[in-house]
Chain A
Amino acid sequence: MPGKLKAKIVAGRHLPVMDRASDLTDAFVEVKFGNTTFKTDVYPKSLNPQWNSEWFKFEVDDEDLQDEPLQITVLDHDTYSANDAIGKVYIDIDPLLCSEAASVISGWFPIYDTIHGIRGEINVLIKVELFNDLNRFRQSSCGVKFFCTTSIPRCYRAAMVHGFVEELVVNEDPEYQWIDRIRTPRASNEARQRLISLMSGELQRKIGLKVLEMGGNAVVGYLQCFDLEGESGLVVRAIGTACTLDKLTSGSAPSTNTALPTSSSSPPPFSPSKPCSRQSSSSDTDLSLTPKTGMGSGGSAGKEAGPLKTLLRQQTQTALEQREFPFFTLTSFPPGFLVHVGGVVSARSVKLLDRIHNPDEPETRDAWWEEIRQEIKSHAKALGCHAVVGYSESTSICEEVCILSASGTAAILNPRYMREGCLDTGSTDHRLFLSVPDVLFTTIDMPPEAAVTGKGCLIQARLCRLKKKAQGEVNATAISNLLPFMEYELHTQLMNKLKLRSMNALFGLHIQISVGENMLLGLASATGVYLTALPAPGGIQIAGKTPGDLNNEHHILTIQKRINDTIAKNKELYQINPPELTEELVGSPIPEPRQRSRLLRSHSESSDELSELDLSHGKKDAFVLEIDDTDAVEDIHSLLTDNSPPTGFYSCNTELMPGIYNWTSGVQMFTSVRVFRLIHANLTNQGLNKIFTDLCENLLKSFYFKLRSMIPCCLCHLNFTVAVPEEELIQVAVTAVAMTFDKDHSQEKSADKPTTKEQLQFPLELCADSSSSNNQPSSKISGTASVDYGSFADRCSTWLELLRLKAHTIRRGSVKTSRRTQSLAHSACIHAHTPPCMPPGVTVVKMTPLSFLPGTRIIKYLGIINMFFIRETTSLREEGGVSGFLHSFIAEVFAMVRAHVAALGGNAVVSYSMKECVLMENPNKNQAQCLINVSGDAVICVKETDQEPMPSTTNTGQTCSSGADGAT
Chain B
Amino acid sequence: MAVELDVFVGNTTIMDEEVYQLWLDGYTVNDAVKVRMEGGVLEECEASADVLLSDTMDQYRTFHMCERLLHSPTKLANQLLFQIPPHRQAILIERYYAFDDAFVREVLGKKLSKGTKKDLDDISAKTSVTLKSCRRQFDNFKRVFKVVEELKGPLVENIRQHFLLSDKLARDYAAIVFFANNRFETGKRKLQYLTFQDFAFCAGQLINNWTVGAVDNLVDDMDVDLDKEFLQELKELKILITDKDLLDQHKSLVCTALRGKTKAFNEMEANFKNLSRGLVNIAAKLTNTKDVRDFFIDLVEKFIEPCRSDRWTAADMRLYLTHYTNSAHILDTFKHQVVWDRYMGVIKSCIFKMYHD
Contact = CB atoms under 8 A, between A and B. Distances in A.
Interface of A: 13-14, 108, 110, 118, 121, 646, 668-680, 691, 694, 698, 701-708, 729, 731, 839, 841, 844-847, 880-884, 886-888, 890-892, 894-895, 898-899, 919
B1 A691 contact: yes
17 contacts: A14-B79, A668-B10, A668-B14, A673-B5, A673-B6, A676-B3, A680-B1, A701-B47, A704-B47, A705-B47, A705-B51, A705-B52, A729-B4, A844-B85, A883-B57, A884-B64, A887-B61
Interface string B1-42: 111111111111110000000000000000000000000000
B5 A882 contact: yes
B54 interface: yes
Given A118-B80, A847-B11, A891-B9, 18 more contacts: A672-B7, A672-B8, A674-B3, A675-B5, A676-B1, A677-B1, A677-B3, A677-B4, A698-B51, A701-B47, A701-B48, A702-B51, A702-B54, A703-B8, A731-B5, A841-B85, A895-B82, A898-B11
A729 B6 CA distance: 13
A804 to B, nearest CB: 34
A673 B7 contact: yes
B338 interface: no
Contacts of B85: 839, 841, 844
A679 B2 CA distance: 7
A265 B190 CA distance: 98
A790 B314 CA distance: 95
Q: Which 6 A-B pairs have the closest CB atoms?
A: A675-B5, A675-B4, A669-B11, A672-B8, A890-B9, A670-B10
A668 B8 CA distance: 12
A121 B81 CA distance: 10
Given A702-B54, A884-B61, A679 B1 contact: yes
A669 B10 contact: yes
Given A702-B54, A892-B81, A899-B80, A886 B7 contact: yes
A729 B5 CA distance: 10
B86 interface: yes
A884 B4 CA distance: 12
A678 B86 CA distance: 43
A892 B65 CA distance: 11
A887 B50 contact: no
Interface of B: 1-14, 44-48, 50-52, 54-55, 57-58, 61-62, 64-65, 75, 78-83, 85-86
Given A14-B75, A698-B51, A675 B8 contact: no
B133 to A, nearest CB: 20
A149 to B, nearest CB: 18
A677 B2 CA distance: 5
A674 B6 contact: yes
A779 B288 CA distance: 99
The interface residues of chain A, by DSSP majority, are classed as mixed
Given A679-B1, A841-B85, A891-B81, A701 B51 contact: yes
Contacts of B3: 674-677
A883 B1 contact: no
B9 A919 contact: no
The interface residues of chain B, by DSSP majority, are classed as mixed
Contacts of B47: 701, 704-705
B78 to A, nearest CB: 7
Nearest to B46: A646
Contacts of B5: 673-675, 731, 881-883, 886, 919
Nearest to A666: B12
Contact of A678 (B1, B10, B58): B1
A706 B14 contact: yes
B61 A883 contact: yes
B46 to A, nearest CB: 4
B45 A676 contact: no
Contacts of B83: 844-845, 894-895, 898
B323 to A, nearest CB: 56
Contact of A883 (B7, B10, B13, B50): B7
Nearest to B13: A891
A646 B1 contact: no
Contacts of A845: 11, 83
Contacts of A110: 80-81
A277 B55 CA distance: 49
A118 B62 CA distance: 16
Contacts of B79: 14
B8 A670 contact: yes
B64 A880 contact: yes
Contact of B45 (A672, A705, A887): A705
Contacts of A888: 65
B75 A846 contact: no
A462 to B, nearest CB: 15
Contacts of B1: 676-680, 691, 694
A919 B7 CA distance: 13
Contacts of A13: 78
A919 B9 CA distance: 16
Contacts of A891: 9, 13, 65, 81-82
Contacts of A108: 78, 80
Given A108-B80, A118-B80, A705-B52, A894 B11 contact: yes
Contacts of A706: 8, 14, 55, 58
The interface centre, meaning the residue of A110, A121, A706 with most chain B CB atoms within 10 A of its CB, is A706
A108 B75 CA distance: 14
B6 A671 contact: no
Contacts of A899: 80
A898 B80 CA distance: 8
B12 A702 contact: no
Contact of B11 (A670, A703, A882, A892): A670
Nearest to A884: B61
A499 B276 CA distance: 93
A920 to B, nearest CB: 12
A17 to B, nearest CB: 13
B69 to A, nearest CB: 9
A670 B9 contact: yes
B81 A708 contact: no
A176 B188 CA distance: 70
Nearest to A671: B9
A887 B10 CA distance: 10
B65 A895 contact: no
Contacts of A883: 5-7, 57, 61
Contact of A887 (B4, B7, B14, B55): B7
A492 to B, nearest CB: 25
Contacts of B82: 891, 895
A846 B85 CA distance: 12
The interface centre, meaning the residue of A729, A891, A898 with most chain B CB atoms within 10 A of its CB, is A891
A672 B80 contact: no
Nearest to B62: A887
A887 B11 contact: no
Contacts of B12: 668
Contacts of B4: 675-677, 729, 882
A700 to B, nearest CB: 10
Contacts of A677: 1-4
Contacts of B57: 883
B7 A698 contact: no
A674 to B, nearest CB: 5
A673 B78 CA distance: 28
Contacts of B10: 668-670
B243 to A, nearest CB: 58
B86 A841 contact: yes
The interface centre, meaning the residue of B5, B10, B50, B65 with most chain A CB atoms within 10 A of its CB, is B5
A887 B52 contact: no
Contacts of A847: 11
Contacts of B14: 668, 670, 706-707
Contacts of A881: 5
Contacts of B75: 14
A668 B85 CA distance: 12
A846 B12 CA distance: 8
B27 to A, nearest CB: 17
